[in-house]
Amino acid sequence: DDAAGVLYIRFASLQPSAAVAHALGNYARPQVLQAVFRAWAHVDLEAAVARAANLSTVMRQDAARVILDLDLTPSERASIAERLAMRPNFVEVEQAVPPPAAEPHDLALARIAAIDDVAARHREIVSVAAAWAAEDAVGALAAILEWSGDKDLKGLWLSRVMDAWSEADPRAAVDWLLTREPADVAELTGPAFGALAMVDLAEAQALVAALPEGTARFEAQLSVFAVVLDEHHLDRAVTAFGELDSRTQQRVALRLGNRLAGENSEAALAWAMALDEPVRANTLSFLVGSIQKIDAPLAKRLVEGIDDTATRIHAAEGLFHQGLHQEAEPSETLRWVATLGTEAETASLVARVFVVWSARDGPAATTAVMAYPPGAARDRLLLAMMSYRMRIFDTEAAETLLDAIDSPTEKSAAAARLRALRADEDQDAP
């Protein structure tokens, strides 16, 4: 380790960024990583801090220890500590209050659980969990699993130890998980399998496939798929998506769709249209809304090009999620909606236009709705606008809309709701 540290220091003095990348990629021990950052900070403090700020929590703390220990002014130390999400006196506190030496796991768990101050307790968990992960992760995890203390604290302990262990040795962490009952460690599979996927994607995918159905496999699938997607392998991500079960597809479909839309919106919509139900229904309208953010005219054209009327209407709802009816003139939006289907098929979209129009310009919206012939279609719009007016306690406008409702049944029910609202207002009046 000493020799490796010397070599890394020399490497860092010549190519600091490359030295850090190499150390991270080879899961160098914390002491080596600290040596690299110390050398880098001496050469280019700003660059070293910027890189450290993007590390995981445990590694960022390792880098912060040596950076904040440099000969800095108080203002420099405070600024750097803030960027690294540390206290300015982080190093001094660690040196002044070292963790108890060789403290048994059960005693440490009991001691820390008894700390009343939430922030202090959390800091102690983070510190001790990192040490346990480096010294004996298997023993620590076994002790925590057997601990009968607070359930939330137990979960935090487990996740902190597993996160640190997975960063240092993902294969060992995964191997340990595979020896446990999946139901007991389901919440820990995500970090370990995600870390393994970053260094050996094929191995991670193969091991996930071997897991039995259940929460553990679900969490592992999510983490591995996230790595595939984050590494910008879109073709590989599409293939991997097809191998996921429906439950997992539901969780990641929109994220993949948004990435595809950023590359090719038409291809993204075609991909979404080919999904099985219910994944397609839960993805399509939101994906169309995402495409609208990229290219609004294209999004409308893509919706218009969908052959199935029900699917076309459903996709159009995505445009409304992103405020189509708030950005365009209501009359223009109504004309466009009318091209998507029959009056009955587009009724829900038309109602949304009128509700927003009523909020923007009540008299104009009322005049427009009165231009519709009396009947069920107009009644639906009047009821939608009336419901909005009642939500904002505009009972006078609500009564004007009520008077125009044609159906006696609908009118009677709406009148009862308005009377109840006014009765509540009278009770609340001083």
Question: Could you report the per-residue pLDDT of 132-190, keeping only the tens digit for each?
Answer: 988 899 999 999 999 998 888 899 999 999 988 998 899 999 999 998 888 888 889 99
Q: Element (H or E) spanning 69, and its range?
A: none
pLDDT, residue 412, reads 93
pLDDT at 8: 52
Quote the mean pLDDT of the chain: 84
Is residue 170 included in any domain, yes or no? no
Is pLDDT at 90 greater than 60 in this prediction? no
Under a CB-based contact definition with an 8 Å cutoff, are residues 294 and 261 in contact?
A: yes
Top-ranked range on mean pLDDT: pick from 76-85, 233-242, 264-273: 264-273
Residue 89 has pLDDT above 70, yes or no: no
45-59, 62-76, 81-95: the lowest-pLDDT one: 81-95
In a domain, 32, yes or no: yes
Q: Is residue 30 part of a domain?
A: yes
What span, in angstroms and rounded, lies between the C-alpha atoms of 70 and 79?
A: 14
Q: What is the mean pLDDT of residues 30-52?
A: 81
Helix locations, 211-346, DSSP H: 215-230, 234-242, 246-263, 265-273, 279-294, 296-304, 309-321, 324-327, 330-338
Q: Let me know if residue 71 belongs to a domain.
A: yes
Residue 133 lies in a domain: no
Residue 342 inside a domain? The answer is no
pLDDT at 117: 86
Q: What would the mean pLDDT of 16-22 be, rounded to a whole number?
A: 73
Give residue 81's domain range: 2-89
Q: Does the residue 25 lie in any domain? A: yes
**Who contacts 142 (Cβ-Cβ below 8 Å, separation ≥6)?**
none
> Radius of gyration (Cα) for the chain, nearest Å?
30
The answer to whether 192 and 177 have CB atoms below 8 angstroms apart is yes
Instruction: Establish if 415 belongs to a structural domain.
Output: no
pLDDT band at 129 (very low <50, low <70, confident <90, very high): confident
In this predicted structure, what is the pLDDT of residue 2?
A: 42
Residue-level pLDDT at 13:
57
- Rounded to an integer, the average pLDDT of 24-50 is 76
Structurally, how many domains does the chain consist of? 1
- The percentage of the chain sitting over the pLDDT mark of 70, rounded to a whole number, equals 87
Query: With 60 as the cut, is the pLDDT of residue 313 above it?
Result: yes
